[in-house]
Amino acid sequence: MLEKMEEFNMEKVIEDFEAMTKDAERVQRQTLKKILEENASAEYLQNLGLDGRTDPESFKAIVPLVTHKDLDPYIQRIADGDSSPILTGKPITTISLSSGTSQGRPKFVPFTDELMETTMQIFQTSFAFRNREFPIVNGKALQFIYSSKQFKTKGGLAAGTATTNVYSRSQFKNTMKAMQSQCCSPDEVIFGPDFHQSLYCHLLCGLIFRDEVQSISSAFAHSIVLAFRTFELLWEELCADIRDGVLSSRITAPSIRAALSKLLKPDPELAELIYEKCSGLSNWYGLIPALFPNVKYIYGIMTGSMEPYQKKLRHYAAGLPLLSADYGASEGWIGANINPKIPTEFTSYAVLPNIGYFEFIPLRNNIGDQELCVEPKPVGLTEVKVGEEYEVVITNVAGLYRYMLGDVVKVVGFHNSTPEIKFMCRSNLLLSINIDKNTENDLQLAVEEAAKLLAAEKLEVVDFSSHVDLSTDPGHYVIFWELNGEPSQEVLSECCNCLDKSFVDAGYLSSRKVNTIGPLELRILRKGTFQKILNHYLAQGAAVSQFKAPRCVGPHNNMVLQILCGNVVSAMHFLSSLLEVASHRLVLTTIIGSLTPQMFLLLSILSGTVGVWDALKVQIALIAWIMVVLLLLGVALVACPPPFSVGH
């Protein structure tokens, strides 16, 4: 059992993985058979009339494809205390909460001991391949991991985020220790009552053990970036704690103070070293290797919605490798990163055929309306085709049967007979008004392209989101940016222009041409807006470890939309931004153009070659020309009012 795991046999883990992936179809049939046999008494399966059949053909013919909405009544009964076999043969005693950042509210998902074992299998598999390339020996890990508060459901079941349910199990700690990836922070920090205090102490513990830290990790790249942005603000206070051996007064939780008092001793030499390292950095470039000289790599999920944080992470990491973690969701795990040396933008995941039964719904581009069309005929794990995109369907030991995960993946190759897949986007996160269909990935590419224009002013996008505004006629896209400084209006105008032009979906382009979609709007947010959004989710019981900034905010996510709209400091539309730039240039050109003949006339009068009366007539003509230009400009500005309006 995993609880008793004391040694980690890397070669054995890789050997087992290679064996199962060489015959993935057979392993899939065995996995489905095991799941259905263990849960044969489940009410859900019995009501469908499966009658003990365990073959894939019968299973797919009888059991329908479902979403969370279909299973929610069953899960709610379990959470309310119904201990009968509803979805599983064994009673479910723990509930996981999804992050809630995609749909606005967290979902309840069953969590079982068997699901915990698949989690540890994923961790071990990816670590085995990772450690083969980047060996770690007797080291510690600076892990920015956080547990949210667990609570009891109406029926008395323990409930918490998926990461909390994992971190609280003894298997997690034992596995991390066996893999020489033990967190340098004590449990009191991980399970602390306040995220900000835990973050501060993670940094402090990392600095105390700086020479032993060999890896830096978190569930998501966002958490690592957030940690080192915080370090930029508090580094002198951290140095003072180490110098004096006294914990900052900002740490008020008794459990954390007691745990840190055992680690923190006066160390003026270390404090001075850290101070010198930080003082010698230029704009914090290379911060991580400066603080932690023996770190081999930085590890966390860096694909999908985490891709925008890679640029900042590379800035902190300098030349250290960034390795993307594994692919899964609150509902269950899917694949492991077995090619850690591949750059993060090309990361793919090999599906483990024994941790669940997987199907894939083909997605094809419908030429008629450019819509992502789902063909409801899923194919098996080994039947997918390289280059094709699919929506993932999962069946697992925790009572989810033919569950449509909502993730779109692309098959990029095979490892033996199991596919290697790349996460593309969430299928339901679409910017759409008319016939346009822009995905999270399309939004990300547009933001990346427009953000390049900020480089000249040494600025960057801290975070971003979007919204479809249907309060105007026609509706239009709204892009929210939080920046790390204040760019000029002209640069923002160019950014707005670039954003609009970067959406190349045919439906969007044609709709913009005929004005069935209005001009794109760029709204600039106050500094700290996304921190407010994070705090909002923390107040709802979410864990920082699972936080993903919502990229597309719909009406169902009203509180986040209120936070975004309530923190707008300036806004501009695509057309008016173009007009403002053009008007500035036109006025400047007109003035400069009019000054040239005036200087010529003045010199001519002084030399006596032109009479005063003739010069006056030329001046009147020039003034008339300028007035005509300004009049035309005024008419245009009425048609498209000035772009900037505070508190839009």
Residues 6+ apart with CB under 8 A from 265: 245
Of the candidates 449, 461, 464, the one whose C-alpha atom is nearest the C-alpha of residue 487 is 461
Helices 221-244 & 195-208, crossing angle to 10 degrees? 70
Band of the pLDDT at 210, cuts 50, 70, 90? very high
Sign of torsion over alpha carbons 621, 623, 629, 635: negative
How high is the pLDDT of residue 628?
53
What's the whole-number average pLDDT of the chain? Answer: 82
The secondary structure element, H or E, covering residue 464 is: strand 461-469
Q: What's the alpha-carbon Rg for the chain, to the nearest Å?
A: 29
Query: Tokens standing for 477?
Result: 């896209």
The per-residue pLDDT for 596 is 47
Q: Higher pLDDT residue, 626 or 343?
A: 343
Position 344 scores a pLDDT of 87
Give yes or no for residue 332 having a pLDDT over 90.
no
Amino acid at the residue 254: P
pLDDT, tens only, 557-610? 788 888 998 898 887 766 544 444 444 444 444 444 544 455 444 444 444 544
Q: Using CA atoms, how far apart are residues 64 and 67, in angstroms rounded to an integer? A: 10
Burial group, residue 25, by CB count within 10 angstroms (0-12, 13-18, 19+)? middle
Tokens of 458: 């040494």
What percentage of the chain carries pLDDT values higher than 90?
A: 38
pLDDT for the residue numbered 599: 46
Q: What is the pLDDT of residue 113?
A: 86
Minimum mean pLDDT range among 308-322, 535-549, 610-624: 610-624
Ranges of each domain in the chain: 1-89+344-365+374-427, 135-149+162-320, 430-573, 583-607
What is the per-residue pLDDT across 448-491, written as a single tens digit (0 to 9) for each? 888 888 887 888 898 999 888 878 878 899 999 999 888 888 88
pLDDT interval class at 392 (50, 70, 90): very high
pLDDT at 67 over 80: yes
Residues 6 or more apart whose CB falls under 8 angstroms from that of 184 comprise: 140, 141, 142, 143, 205, 206, 208, 209, 212, 213
Encode pLDDT of 398-412 as tens digits.
999 999 988 889 999
Query: Using 50, 70 and 90 to split pLDDT, how confident is the model at 429?
Result: low
> Of 484, 531, 527, 395, nearest to 34 (Cα)?
395
What's the token pair of residue 299? 């590890």
Q: How far is CA 119 from the centre of its chain?
A: 21
DSSP code per residue over 42-61: -HHHHHHT-TT--SHHHHHH
Does residue 418 surpass a pLDDT of 50?
yes
DSSP state of 546: G
Residue 622: predicted pLDDT: 57
User: Hey, which of 310-314, 382-386, 423-427, 584-588 has the most confident mean pLDDT?
Assistant: 382-386
Helix, strand and coil content of the chain, in percent to the nearest 5, comes to 45, 20, 35
- Would the pTM of this model clear 0.85, i.e. be above it? no
601/281: higher pLDDT: 281
Range of weakest confidence among 34-38, 326-330, 598-602: 598-602
* Model confidence band, residue 159 (pLDDT cutoffs 50, 70, 90): confident
Distance CA 236, CA 561 (A): 36
Select, from the ranges 157-161, 308-312, 336-340, the one with the highest average predicted confidence (pLDDT): 336-340
